Amino acid sequence: MLFEDRTAQETWSPTERIDRGPALVNATDIPRPRSPFVSLRTGCRLRHGPRFRLLQAGPHAQTGHMSTETRIAVLPQEPGPLRIETIELPAPVGHEVLVKEFASGICHSQLHQMHSPRRSNVVLGHEATGEVLAVGELVDNVGPGDRVLLTFQPRDLRTTNRQPGISSVELGDGSRAMSPNIFTWSDHTLVDDQYVIKVAPDTPTDVTSIVGCAVLTGAGAVIRAAGVERGQSVAVWGVGGVGLNAIAAARMMGANPIIAVDVDEAKLELARHFGATHTVNGRETDPIEAVRELTLGSIEGHGFRGAPIAGVDFAFDVVARPETFLQAFRSTRNSRLAVHAGGTVVVVGVPQGSFDLPAVELLISERKIVGTLGGTAVPEEDIPMFLSWYANGDLDLDALVTSRVGLDEINEATKMLEDGKVLGRSIIEFN
């Protein structure tokens, strides 16, 4: 339903309001001071009656669902560990979907969020498997009882201009905890329907919880952002949960060679299981020299001023630190002018600090740099494909999940991830 502010002459949808419990907040349209909030918890009861006129009303699809008690991990505004709180989630309205979660992934990007300054309490997690309990009246892609995957990437923005809402929750003390866009470190979650993908009823409830980020980002970077084709060469810097999926996707695309670069021998061994043809331990050898040696002579001729042509077609930097970016950049192929273009470095991970760009090398080698958010994926199309890879034995999600914890162990789990003790991906399993 839409409401009009007669004084401000502005129109908005219910998901653009923040005056309710766990609400969806449009990041680009926080209400201006002159525009009073609309309360959605009371079913269209307006706080400033004369100032508003009901423009449109649709059927209410609450399915009789009342508020839901849930346990949730909360990152406090001040530095400190995550704490577990019990809160009430109200029934969904508008484009909201209430989901009971089976499992959720623990992603390295959450470590970045935990170590970053924040202006409020924060709720985290952005990939999960669950079951829909109730939906708002504007939801048409899922319904109660559906098994779903949750992802931080909108399922398909090509079909709508609506900006998905951002989830937030009201805590027991009345304060509000915000999320980056969704939250999944909780028994239940309330999210915009753009982050919810319906899957088959028999979809496993545990290992598929990492498809919404780890698989989507790693495999999507190869397929969507880079467009790797059969016979092209690939190197992946950082073979944790995301990097292993990049390697698996490169194998599915027919890339050769596929070079895994890491400083952990156990991770490199796991990378071979996922499809790496070669491994390079960056602690024991210069990865730039190693990658260029493996690809020397793959293209005939010489580059600028007679330089030998070597390097991969695509280097994926999943670590995204200044040193790994430079290594990945210099490991991509230099060009043969007007015959073969230079290689491409794809920045997949969340960058840590500023990168120094060797501009002259960029010019004379004709290399390219591409950034990708979430693998540039289209979840509604890509997630079914990745699940079919798993079902057919082409993507070993069981081997990818190397650690399982309960919600009460979330601080220990994030510490393990930060200490580099998680080979693939950790998941939280809920009762």
pLDDT for 301 equals: 72
pLDDT for 65 equals: 66
The rounded distance, in Å, linking the Cα atoms of 179 and 59 is 29
The rounded distance, in Å, linking the Cα atoms of 244 and 425 is 10
pLDDT for 376 equals: 96
pLDDT for 391 equals: 97
pLDDT for 303 equals: 62
The rounded distance, in Å, linking the Cα atoms of 165 and 193 is 9
Instruction: Please give the domain boundaries of the chain with CATH numbers for all domains.
Output: 2-56 (no CATH), 68-205+396-429 (3.90.180.10), 214-375 (3.40.50.720)
DSSP letters, 268-304, are HHHHHHHT-SEEEETTTS-HHHHHHHHHTTSS-SB-G
- For 303, phi then psi, to 5°, come to -95, -155
pLDDT for 60 equals: 34
Percent helix, strand and coil across the chain, each rounded to 5?
Answer: 30, 25, 45
pTM to 2 decimal places: 0.83
| Whether the Cβ atoms of residue 243 and residue 268 lie closer than 8 Å to each other | no
Which one, of 252, 254, 211, 226, lies nearest residue 379 by Cα? 211
pLDDT tens digits, the chain, 431 residues: what are they?
A: 222 232 233 322 333 333 334 444 443 333 323 222 222 232 333 223 322 222 222 333 445 568 899 999 999 999 899 999 999 999 999 999 999 999 999 998 899 889 988 999 999 999 999 999 999 999 999 999 999 999 999 999 998 899 999 999 999 999 999 999 999 999 999 999 999 999 999 999 999 999 999 999 999 999 999 999 999 999 999 999 999 999 999 999 999 999 999 999 999 999 999 999 999 999 999 999 999 999 997 777 776 665 787 899 999 999 999 999 999 999 999 877 656 789 999 999 999 888 888 898 888 888 999 999 999 999 999 999 999 999 999 999 999 999 999 999 999 999 999 998 999 999 999 98
Q: Beginning with the edge strand found earlier in the chain, give each strand of the sheet holding 121-123 in spatial order.
A: 24-25, 166-170, 176-178, 121-123, 68-75, 83-89
Copy the structure tokens of residue 3: 């409401």
